[in-house]
Amino acid sequence: MSLFRIKSLQKIAMLGFAFFAVIQVTYAQELLTLDRALQYSETESPIIIQSKLNIERVQKNLEAQRAALKSRFSLEANPLSFNRNRSFDDVRSTWYTSENLSSNTNLRISQPILFTDGTISLNNEFGWQKSKSSATNAIPQNERFYNNLYLNLNQPLFTYNRLKMQLKQLELNYENAKISYALQRLNMERNVTQQFYNVFMLQENLSIAKAELENTQVNYELIKNKADAGLVAMEELYQAELNLMQSQSTVEERTVSYENAKDQLKLLLGMDIYSDFVILNIDISTQESVSVNLEQAIENGLKNRMELRQREIDIENSQFAMIQTKAQNEFSGDLNLRLGITGDDTNLAQIYKKENTVNNPSVSISFNLPIFDWGEKKARIAAQEAAIESVQIDYEEEQKDIILSIREVYRSIQSQWNQIQIAKQKQNNAQLTYEINNERYLNGDLTGMDLNLQQQQLSNARISYTQAQINYKIALLNLKIQSLYDFEMNLPVLPDELYLSTEN
């Protein structure tokens, strides 16, 4: 085999190995886009998962409370009960012994009454009893079946409806949990976007640093050849060596920053920390100015911002707390009404025989009348009044914060657009300046150190231009979150859509 053919086969093998190596790296690294990152955070982010679990917890508590308002069936069984007692009869001044053997069950159906905060229940107690006694004139032994069927109503009087309040508080907690989830989603969108673009910028900075290193390496080789030929002074070579070392150091530093930022983004998204990804090149050079109506942004923010609803929920809960405070040491009462029928007989089938049946109605009313509490109730009410006033102030301050934050973001958008125009012009000027100085360098009219400075200025101009466009995008996103209106799409962000996403 000829030497030429062997070398050709070696080249083919090396190309094949390189091809498969590229494929392996491509598959090992996930190609990450902003949309993909946002979708990932919706399902994998620990913050979002915890927020969803909080909603589930509150929702289950609400479902449990609603289930508790339905009829409840219970059966209490006492299969066997036996006791023997030695007692003293005060009337006859004699001691006697009694034994009792019994078995019974009690079936109870209770129904809370949401409208009145009362409870109505149907009870049926069925049992068997056998008793003995040595007392004078007592029947030596008695064995009978008995059944007690009665309807019982218990109704609190002159107080607040605790059932309704508890249900309403759980409903407010559920709504508040959904609001917190919706706000968490908006904050996650902002944080993911910021960190995504931060990784992208560091990735671009690393690419620029590597390009600078390649150019610096070429310049170093060129100057070294000239220095070896005696065409340039040795000081020029020493400066080229220093430039090369600085470029290598810059690549190392930016690599570290890039990898650290990727780890932070993976942590935020909930990705496997041992996985790897690369961000596709983002074309942000076509960014156009977005028309923003400040008055519309403020009006939509005050109408739909969920933080205001949270403050309203705080006010409602504080008012409930006031009702509970006033109920301490209050005048209140209880009504207990019972209607039933009881029967007993030695024969099970004759339990409700007419002569063995007794109606046993009962009615009781009780009142609690506080007389003097040394000013405790008055002080507690005053404290709760201060708490209510405080949450009302929070509501008003929240409105002011919304207006001011929207104004601030609006001004930032105007400023960032101006920065884009300035950065764009700087990049164009730096590009033209570098091309001119590169020609001068190739003609020997410019030193390597001066060309390196021009290259750094061009790189900085490119970074500044990209960063200005990213800042503009972030400012638009902040306005969307602050006003709940997407001015890029010219569509409102509806809170209901953010709530419903929890069911997905």
Q: 364: which 2 tokens?
A: 């009781």
Give the per-residue pLDDT at 14.
Answer: 45
Q: Which amino acid is at 298?
A: I
Q: For the chain, percent helix, then strand, then coil, each to nearest 5?
A: 60, 20, 15
Give the per-residue pLDDT at 55.
Answer: 92
Please name which of 344, 337, 476, 486 lies closest in space to residue 410, comparing C-alpha atoms: 476
362 bridge partner residues: 338
Give the per-residue pLDDT at 139.
Answer: 67
Reply yes or no on whether the pLDDT at 11 is more than 50: no
Reply yes or no on whether the pLDDT at 95 is more than 90: no
Arithmetic mean of pLDDT, 377-384: 91
Q: Over the stretch 253-307, which tens digit does the pLDDT of each residue have?
A: 999 999 999 999 999 998 888 888 888 767 666 667 888 999 999 999 999 899 9
Q: Over the stretch 45-76, which tens digit does the pLDDT of each residue have?
A: 999 999 999 999 999 999 999 999 999 999 99
Arithmetic mean of pLDDT, 454-473: 86
Reply yes or no on whether the pLDDT at 225 is more than 50: yes
Domains of the chain: 26-57+168-316+389-503 (1.20.1600.10), 75-113+118-159+332-369 (no CATH)
pLDDT band at 502 (very low <50, low <70, confident <90, very high): low
Q: What is the 3-state secondary structure (H, E, C) of 45-71?
A: CHHHHHHHHHHHHHHHHHHHHHHHCCC
Arithmetic mean of pLDDT, 200-228: 84
Higher pLDDT, 135 or 115: 115
